[in-house]
Amino acid sequence: MSLSINIRQMNDVSVMDVTGRITLGDDARTLRDMLLTMPKEGHKKILLNLAEAAYIDSSGLGVLVSGFASMTNQGGQLKLLNLTKRVRDLLLITKLFTVFEVFDDEELALRSFAEVAVQAPGAVA
């Protein structure tokens, strides 16, 4: 099953619904390219919905990490939604679970973007 990505706008958050396998080759490259170009096109808040991501290999993990770094460096945010048990376990084993903000509820995830925007620079949380 090849990777398919559907993007939908929820206010100022771009929700990327990922279906399939994020593995070495075209699939990982497709996701990487999208995560690199979206902030350049003004999409600074990305919620990556992995509910239908059947499998992620080490190349796919690399894409998530580089996408996170790229978004952060460009003043954006990348958060993860609806991890499958397999993907959640993989992130826990690799200790990447602590890098990402991970949500099981889309509404809470969307609100988390707004909460960050409300905080003033230099404000103490």
Q: pLDDT digit string (tens) for 70-108?
A: 999 999 999 999 999 989 999 999 999 999 999 999 999
* Cβ atoms < 10 Å from Cβ of 19: 16
The CA distances from residue 89 to 5, 13, 71, 117, in Å, are 23, 26, 24, 30
**Per-residue pLDDT tens for 40-63?**
999 999 999 999 998 899 999 999
Is 59 strand, coil or helix? Answer: helix
pLDDT number for residue 1: 63
In angstroms, the CA 105 to CA 71 distance is 22
Token pair for residue 119?
């905080």
**Per-residue pLDDT tens for 2-46?**
899 999 999 999 999 999 999 999 989 999 999 999 999 999 999
Provide the whole-model pTM: 0.89
